[in-house]
Amino acid sequence: MTPYQQDLLKSLKDPCKAAAYLNAAIEEGDRAVFLLALRNVPTEVWPPLQKKAV
């Protein structure tokens, strides 16, 4: 794993940053970009993200 990837994963543990990251991926309009972004968001972030989405 590169230092960039390590920093990205560390920052995406914050639900607000993860939501912004996913929103930016959606805005790209490319399904592949969004799916890659989903893979980058750590699984422990999903419960707080789900609460934000409601």
All residues at 6 or more sequence positions from 13 whose CB lies less than 8 Å from its CB, including other chains: 42, 44, 45
Q: Model confidence at 54, in pLDDT bands (50, 70, 90)?
A: very low
1 against 36, higher pLDDT: 36
Every domain of the chain and the residues it spans = 3-53
At 7-24, the pLDDT tens digits run 998 999 998 999 999 999
Integer CA distances (angstroms), 44 to 2, 12, 29, 31, 34, in order: 21, 10, 26, 23, 19
42, 45, 47, 50 alpha-carbon torsion, rounded to 10°: -100
Q: Model confidence at 52, in pLDDT bands (50, 70, 90)?
A: low
At 20-50, the pLDDT tens digits run 999 999 999 999 999 999 988 887 777 766 6
Specify the pLDDT at position 20: 94
